[in-house]
Structure 1
Amino acid sequence: MTISDVRPRRRSDLAAFLRSRRERITPDDVGMPPGPRRRTPGLRREEVAQLAGVGVTWYTWLEQGRPINASPQVLDAVARTLRLDAAERGHLYRLAEVPEAAPVPGGEPLPPDIQQILDGLDPLPAAVANGRCDVLAWNSAYAAVFPHLVAAPPGERNTMWKVFTLPDCCNPIVNMEEEAPLHIATFRHRYSRHLNEPAWRDLVRRLEQASPLFARLWARQDVALTAVRLKVFRHAAVGEIRTRANAFDVAGTPDARMVVYAPVEQIDRDRVAWLMEHPDAAATDHRH
């Protein structure tokens, strides 16, 4: 299928999607009088335009699937008027071929039970991250093993950034030679779904500038699916901790996944337990 085939299909899907969302909202839902001789189910086009603060002609053309330009701000107004949820809003942006404004790292809403689930997994270190590797929530075992990460400001609480920018002496990953290429390859697999999003491009640009290793491996164009992996971490207070990392999708939050680190041997479990019992254990034994 060529681009010339895809774009008309997108516009057709956009037209059908907008009509279906408009028809499910009644005038009463938005505080408007029903008016006489209403034959259209839901809102009329001119009513959507009025509520969204856009021109009637422009909205009509958008709903007809015409090749017009749409800004994120205007699409946001339409999405609010049509009461689209997060999944529907993202779908609207993709059909309109407009890069979706990225949320503030750490600001993505998580299901309310997630923190309870994470806490219930103690003493297994576990955290939830989005597709860009921003860490959104974690349990006490995770905080004990990765103090550098959880102590970082929200904008820097990103595993990709920490893995490739921390000095070797403070980098928690021991098997970096094995892990770095896989880390980047699985990240690229997710990145391919967000090529037009500024936040993703900006993260890659900053990593390329900050880390020669990242730049070299990123240029290889390797792609891989997430799989169970052996990850070996070091902590200044206890030494090495060997784990198997398992990832699970989080329902209701697009791109979010829960990563659980299962210690391999008893000595690894003992070291995590000691760190949990000594939360003030120094993250490093030196200063830069």
Structure 2
Amino acid sequence: MDTRLVLDDTRRRDLAAFLRSRRERLTPKSVGLAPGARRRTPGLRREEVALLAGVGSTWYTWLEQGRDVRPSAEVLSALAKALQLDPAEQRHLFLLSDRPAPELRRSGPEIVPDSILRMLDSMGGQPAYVLGRRWDILAWNRAAVAVFGDYSRLGGDARNTMHMIFVDADHRRKIVDWDLLAPASLAMFRADSVRHAGDPDFERLIALLTAHSAEFRAWWPRHEVQRPLGGVKRIDHPKAGRMVFEYTSLAIADQPDMKLVVYTPLEDERSIRKLDRLLKALGPV
């Protein structure tokens, strides 16, 4: 038996059941329709959903029957709106239809959840910070201050990771393998920035980096992209000397534009002991 055919059949049946369940929880009043004649079953009728979504009634019926019809992304968005799906339900609808889920484009202030702030504070022996949609550093812990400096002294674009890598000379000097890390970081930033094409804050940052960094100006037009990666970063700390960290980037649930970046000190170059001394030098918590 063809595994792909079995999966397609299962997905269509699940999609049909999901659509029925979402349709049956709505009422004509909730979507602005007249109640009409007495209904034998709960929720909206199929033809009402089709009307609201702007699709054919027969075609929508086939969809709920699990037939092999393949709705486009535009039709799925129309169905999601007609059925009043929340973001999680909309994503589920697209996945059941074997379509990539649309990215939610957010704007406005970025608020780091309290649970993440508490997590940062509890990570005493690991420098860590939270990156926002534009790679601005939104929150950090004491260990990050000990290794990378006090981010609270930076404002605006200066607290942006790409700005620090390409424009901030002091930060650049700390990164031992800058020639390897910088182009990789740029490629990951470009992959993230495509979801915010045309955003004026992104455009302004890119223009600033282009104007002030010859490397950024040369590499940005290459259109290199790369998925977020972990690895090892070597730091030349002005007081502690060479330190080595293993770092990783973690997605934050319910905050698709935020990442938690964590640096774990390794035994190399006595990095764990050096970090401990740096933290003690900061004074009591």
TM-score (norm 2): 0.62
- SS of the aligned residue for 2:222 comes to coil
Q: What residue is the counterpart of 1:254 in the other structure?
A: 256
Q: 2:112 touches 2:138 (CA, 8 Å); kept in 1?
A: no
Q: Does 1:273 align with 2:283?
A: no
CA distance in 2, matches of 1:235, 1:216: 28
Match of 1:126 among 96, 121, 128: 128
1:210 matched to 2:207? The reply is no
Out of 241, 244, 254, the position equivalent to 1:242 is 244
One-letter amino acid of the counterpart of residue 231, structure 2: R
Secondary structure in structure 2 of the residue aligned to 1:256: strand
How much is the aligned-residue C-alpha RMSD, in angstroms? Answer: 4.6
Going from structure 1 to structure 2, the CA distance change for 1:177 and 1:260 (only over 3 Å counts) comes to: same
Greater Cα radius of gyration, structure 1 or 2:
2
Bigger RCO of structures 1 and 2 (CA < 8 A, at least 6 apart): 1
Segments of 5+ residues of structure 2 without an aligned counterpart are 1-21, 45-51, 56-83, 91-103
**Whole-Å separation in 1 of the counterparts to 2:179 and 2:261:** 21
Q: Which runs of 5+ in 1 are unaligned?
A: 1-20, 30-34, 43-60, 66-81, 89-99, 281-288
Q: Which residue is equivalent to 1:72?
A: none
**Deviation above 6 Å: which 4+ runs of structure 1?**
23-26, 82-88
Instruction: Report the Cα distance in structure 1 between the residues aligned to 2:137 and 2:201, rounded to whole angstroms.
Output: 15
Cα deviation, residue 132, structure 1: 1.6
8 Å CA contact retained: 1:233, 1:240: yes
- Alpha-carbon offset, residue 86 of structure 1: 11
| Matched residue, 1:55 | none
Do the aligned partners of 1:129 and 1:258 also contact (CA within 8 Å) in 2?
yes
Q: What's the % identity of the aligned pairs?
A: 28
Report SS of the residue matched to 1:192.
helix
Between Structure 1 and Structure 2, the one with more helix by share is 2
- Specify the alignment match of 1:167 in structure 2: 169
Structure 1 length as normaliser, TM-score?
A: 0.61
CA distance 1:170–1:160, change in 2 (3 Å): closer
| Count of aligned positions | 235
**Contact 1:172–1:233 under 8 Å retained in 2:** yes
| Contact residue 165 and residue 171 of structure 2 kept, 8 A | no
